[in-house]
A and B are shown apart, each in its own frame.
Chain A
Amino acid sequence: MAEPKTKYDRQLRIWGEQGQAALEKASICLLNCGPTGSETLKNLVLGGIGSITVVDGSKVEHGDLGNNFMVSESSLGQPKAKCVCAFLQELNDAVKAKFIEEHPVTLIETNPSFFSQFTLVVATQLVEDSMVKLDRICRDANVMLIFARSYGLTGFVRISVKEHAVIESKPDHFLDDLRLNNPWPELKKFTENVDLDTSDPVVHKHIPYILILVKTAEEWAKSHGGRLPSTREEKKEFKEVIKAKMVATDEDNFKEAIEASFKVFASQGISSDLKRILDDTCAEVDSGASDFWVMVAALKEFIANEGGGEAPLEGSIPDMTSSTELYVNLQKLYQAKAEADFLVVEQRVRNILKKIGRDPYSISKTVIKSFCKNARKLTVCRYKLIEEEFNSPVLPELQKYLTDEEYSVAVGFYILLRAVDRFSANYNTFPGQFDGGMDEDISRLKTTAVSLLSDLGCNGSTLTEDLINEMCRYGAAELHAVAAYIGGVASQEVIKLITRQFVPMSGTFIFNGIDHKSQLLSL
């Protein structure tokens, strides 16, 4: 076996060893192993997911050879689950792969407890009725669930998890935590010891912008009754003040200070997103609270007390022009403050745990530390039961989508993807699944879609003839390229859910394979 560190190098750089460990512990169940499901699992098996169980009751037919890479000529007539499982195992011997030759619908109907053994279920190509039932089963068993479906040039992906809390959300762009307009005493003192008017040009051009900005902000506040620049004019003037401090044109540190001056103008205190989490009823913890919410409760106390309205300091600074000494010392200063904040939060976490009757040390130092470091970026995702969305979607949103040109194709596909299931429940076949009777199918699908819209409270709304025709043309085809796309999306979301890193998608993702104007619908 290859050294896993080398084999997984390119992904360890994204989710680290902790993320990898979470993947390797996870067990995934796949329902239906057509190309959509097979491709989803392929991407997970390559990345070293712990175990997979492939559930499918069908046998390999000629048609499968044209859209599924995991079956080949020699598989004809054999159980599809077996063939797909064998190919997946070939991709990575570290993964435990097994299959069950059974129709998913049968399992859902007769053996609901089967699903509770898994970390996550990937349910592909299910019709509405089965989705609703499976969703209820997984929600009750606290098993994460992702639906994925490919249908002609469209398809969808939908996550269903009661609550998913993310500590390491790792956003691409996030304002760094420098406290330039609200320096703590040690940073203030450090700044005082630096002379912006030094006569040594080499020293002058190596003063890091953090210090330039803290100093300039302080001076500004002194001469403006304690206020910082807020109007556009004032902000411009602030930049001029910095510019005036330059003694040579090649001083990159001052140029950086001017560019970073918006960090001085940023508001103090916590963001509205974080406030919403602190105000969540889950933050009032009892013995049943999860570790995440216990830490949120501690965070809330910290912000109200020691933090003085701020979250614990993140403790890292971006690279900037500086002498090595000043930079390294600044870095240490930020780290020391972050460590001090962490220790206070840790104590509060221990106290809360004790109060709710849990072992005060049941949450590790490492976890609390990571929580503090990411406190400003915490994210909580919640997903409706799919039945709720199906029966009573958020009407204003739905109406908005139906009239918004950007969304019209995507929401049209959303309605039609549901309409084809009603169609198939009535006529035992999908519209256009077989040649002949196309005109009749088109008019039947139209009627079905209109009545669905009316059931959802959108009387009078219609879909374009072109899109209805298009849906009939697809005839429930599972095209490989579309399945690979949908499967790719589903596997990316699985990874985010299992590693508990990055932020999973919200709402229902509708793939638009016509012009790629896909959309997320929040219904």
Chain B
Amino acid sequence: MVESRISSSSRSRDLDKLLLRPGNLVGPTFEPGTQLRDDLQEYARILVVGAGGLGCELLKDLALSGFRNLEVIDMDRIEVSNLNRQFLFRLEDVGQPKAEVAAKRVMERVSGVNIVPHFCRIEEKELEFYSEFSIIVLGLDSVEARSYINAVACGFLEYDSNDEPVEETVKPMVDGGTEGFKGHARVILPGMTPCFECTIWLFPPQVKFPLCTLAETPRTAAHCIEYAHLIKWDEVHSGKSFDPDNPEHMQWVYLEAAKRAQLFGIPGVTYSLTQGVVKNIIPAIASTNAIISAACALETLKIASGCSKTLSNYLTYNGVEGLHTKVTEFVKDKDCLVCGPGIFIELETSVTLKMFIDQLEDHPKLLMSGASVRVGGKNLYMAAPPLLEEMTRSNLGLPLFELMDKSPTGVVHVTGTAGKGDKRQSCLRKLRVAFKAVGIADTDMAGGA
């Protein structure tokens, strides 16, 4: 054998072929060579959000795809029902934080990889935490959590004076999701390809039964279960809230549902169905998680290295009837509140931070209450926790203009609870603030230029 850069005795024997050799079907930034391999190892930092069915697979796949700096965040603890697919966990781990066990198991087996676990809610982390990663990979099962991370990543995006995204501020995301034999993987380059919010219609809202059906004309086992869960429980247990993880509570709901079903002659109430309906359980299997995570890990490697083209931009996999895969190129919503240039708000220079926060509550596109406000890396006001609230409270009376160092325009991030009725959820929004008088001159100049 001739002199070889690819050593067959090296741990990166296979990966080297892809990273060290030139090709024609590659990304525009691809610069093959050992430098690229070393850079991936040394400088690429990947965050995996979720250490469940997808997260476990993702950590393994990324650790074996040339990345050495990984972090994982998950607020959950291991349960017995995870063990049919979350292969990094064993029976004796039940009750332990998923992120910690997952990180430990992968580090035990893949030497050289460092994985930092974060056992907490994604909202608990500062924005800086997310800004430090090269790519954020999502292995989540909730729309709310995806929305949140998406808003965080899109929040880093800056636009230039022509409203074109500034490339260095694009924080790529790779997102996966599964249900039974089906799944999706997608690549989100904020500002360039549609963000999660641009195509939120892909996740239709969960069907909820009308209360009158539950109370008056139940027809299915699910109706009886939801009656026991949503109506009867509160009637009987005044003040005590229902805990879906408490087996006694679940048993009570099941028995009540069964009673009601018998009363109306409705078949099909079982304990398993009760759990499924109450906890909205999505069936999940190892193989589908493996497929989707692998696709996500591969895209992560391609984005980071340019060693091949990237998925553009949404892959669906369906193994229910035969096997169907499809790539759809969705388009960006140019008016998207999340990945667009931001909601424009014009203010008097005299408006105080307090007045600004109050305005957010009435703003038709925001309807945000209890907002915390940040500018650049600085917290102007923190609604929680109490200690930080106290520390930032004194800012409330000061004009926002001054707090923003008298800059005529600027980007402000606000976090709070937004939405209407029972669809309220915590969210992050990017605002483009311009101050009148100073701002007008600015606009005139832009118009004249």
Question: Which residue numbers of A lie inside 8 Å of B, CB to CB?
Answer: 1-3, 6-14, 35, 39, 42-44, 46-48, 61-63, 65-69, 72-73, 90-92, 152-153, 169-172, 206, 319-324, 327-328, 331, 432, 434-438, 465-467, 469-470, 473-475, 477-485, 487-489, 491-493, 495-496, 502-506, 509, 513-518, 520
Contact = CB atoms under 8 A, between A and B. Distances in A.
B114 interface: no
B309 A514 contact: yes
A23 to B, nearest CB: 11
B217 interface: yes
B111 A434 contact: no
B2 A436 contact: yes
Contacts of B57: 484
Contact of A516 (B1, B267, B295): B295
A232 to B, nearest CB: 28
Nearest to B8: A63
A14 B18 contact: no
Given A10-B81, A14-B180, A502-B319, A470 B220 contact: no
A46 B85 contact: yes
B286 A491 contact: yes
Nearest to B284: A10
A62 B8 CA distance: 8
A517 B356 CA distance: 49
A478 B219 contact: no
B14 A477 contact: yes
25 contacts: A7-B81, A11-B84, A14-B283, A46-B84, A61-B8, A68-B64, A170-B320, A319-B220, A328-B219, A328-B265, A434-B6, A435-B3, A437-B2, A466-B25, A477-B14, A479-B298, A481-B297, A482-B298, A484-B60, A484-B290, A484-B297, A492-B181, A492-B319, A502-B321, A509-B323
A72 B323 contact: no
Nearest to A35: B64
A7 B90 CA distance: 11
B415 interface: no
A328 B91 CA distance: 43
Given A66-B11, A72-B109, A324 B218 contact: yes
Contacts of B311: 515-516
The secondary structure that dominates the B interface is loop
Contacts of B310: 515
B37 to A, nearest CB: 11
B285 A481 contact: no
A248 to B, nearest CB: 15
A91 B315 CA distance: 30
B391 interface: no
Contact of B298 (A90, A171, A466, A513): A513
Q: Closest 7 CB pairs between A and B?
A: A63-B13, A488-B290, A488-B291, A436-B2, A505-B323, A480-B64, A484-B294
Contacts of B321: 169, 171-172, 502-503
Interface residues of B, number: 85
Given A63-B10, A474-B18, A485-B291, A513 B320 contact: no
A11 B21 CA distance: 42
A7 B288 contact: no
A319 B276 CA distance: 17
B325 A90 contact: no
B290 A322 contact: no
B323 A489 contact: yes
B15 A61 contact: no
A65 B181 contact: no
A9 B219 contact: no
The CB with the most chain A CB atoms within 10 A, among B276, B322, B327, is that of B322
B106 to A, nearest CB: 8
Interface in B201-221: 213, 217-220
A473 B298 contact: no
B285 A66 contact: no
Contacts of B298: 153, 479, 481-482, 485, 513
A488 B58 CA distance: 13
